[in-house]
Amino acid sequence: MTREFYNALQMDPSVLKRRIAACGTKGEKAFYWAAMAVRSALIVAFAILFISLLSGLFGADNTPLAVVLFCMLLGIRFVDFDYCIADSMAALGAALAILTLAPCAAAALAPVLVAPLHFIAFFALLLLTCQRPEMGNGGIYNFAYIYLAGNPVAGQALARRGMMALAGYLLCGAILFVKHRKRNPGARFHHRLRRFDLARPECLWQLRMALGVSLVLAAGQAFGVERFMWMGFACGSLLSEYPLPQNTAVRFWQRIVGAAAGCGLFALLYLAVPPDFRSLLGPLGGFCMGFCTDYRYKTAMNCIGALMIARGSTAFRARWCCVWRTQCWA
């Protein structure tokens, strides 16, 4: 039973819900519901510990990279880069270098140069990490780039961010090596690169994502939009669906419905919860995200953490609010 429960903890909520639907007894259904709840609670608890530790070591202004590393840590256990381990380790280092340097460089460039930089950096990031978008890597690295673009640093904070990226490389690289060292032994990155062709759905997806997100981020920065990264999140979420949808309008309206519901839920919770406990709304959103499989419900849960950050909370509260996001993209 212990081994079976552990295996259930490794499953995605969509898989667990299919198991629940197929169960013939209440006991079996309760087993999988319990696994889903424990899985979500463990992810949130580990996120708080992991993000707090890295933020304490490298500074609160680098909390966004700690969140990104946590998401990468969860994803890299199950999904590799689809080529040999030597090239995968190099790609991981290159991806972290892009995530560390490109968003900070964009914040210091003239507006006319921001869009080309975002496009080149984000497109390179997708080429390195998302050869198979259906495996979900696109969501993680899309979130990572946009989140860091909205939270650039400079000077000593940038140096600390580089050190955190190095620590993240050692940790994620160790997991990548242990979990995937025997996969795709003959596949090289340059082999994948030579196969790039816009007639291939995954290549068109990469170009579409990079072009859309880079233009939105550049527009947000050029027009001085406060927290323009939320524009990037909305754009990336709509474009990240793979296989390429025939009609993105459905996902567009689902996002509007989910956002409206999430804002209403946040307003009710914020008024009902005593002020001293409102900082817990971020982790609560993250926990509830562990039960969501429908895009509308995920969007609604997103709003809880997003509105806590938009409220202008302290660094302490913002750190816990970041936890909700890890459940969505990890």
- Share of residues in the chain with pLDDT > 90 (%): 47
- Residue 84 tokens read as 């040999």
- Return the HEC string of 262-330: HHHHHHHHHHHCCHHHHHHHHHHHHHHHCCCCCHHHHHHHHHHHHHHHHCCCCHHHHHHHHHHHHHHHC
Mean pLDDT of 71-89: 92
Residue 237: per-residue pLDDT: 83
Q: Is the dihedral of CA 130, 135, 138, 140 positive or negative?
A: negative
Would you tell me the crossing angle of helices 111-129 and 137-149 to the nearest 10 degrees? 150
Question: What pLDDT band is residue 247 in, cutting at 50, 70 and 90?
Answer: low
> Could you report how far apart the first and last alpha carbons of the chain are, in Å?
27
- The CA-atom distances, in angstroms, between 82 and each of 129, 180, 186, 188 are 8, 9, 10, 9
How remote is the C-alpha of 310 from its chain's centroid? 19
Domain spans of the chain, in order of start: 60-226
Q: Which of 270, 256, 94, 72 is nearest to 179 (CA)?
A: 72
Residue 225 structure tokens:
């939009």
DSSP 198: T
Mean pLDDT (whole number) for 163-186: 94
Give the SS3 label for residue 154. Answer: coil
Question: How many residues does this entry show for the chain?
Answer: 330
Phi-psi region of 109 (alpha: psi -120 to 50; beta: other; left: phi over 0): beta
Rounded Cα distance between 289 and 275, Å, is 23
- Three-class SS state of 101: helix
pLDDT at site 324: 47
Quickly count: other Cβ atoms within 10 Å of residue 174's Cβ: 11
Q: Name residues whose C-beta falls within 8 Å of residue 313's C-beta, 6 or more positions apart in sequence.
A: 279, 321
Q: Which helix (H) or strand (E) holds 144?
A: helix 137-149
pLDDT one-digit tens code per residue, 278-313? 877 877 877 888 888 888 888 888 887 777 766 654
pTM of the predicted protein model: 0.86
Tell me which residue of 256, 266, 259 sits closest to 304, measured CA to CA. Answer: 266
Cα dihedral across residues 321, 327, 329, 330: positive or negative: positive
pLDDT digits (tens, 9 = 90+) for 114-157: 999 999 999 999 999 998 888 888 889 999 999 999 999 999 99
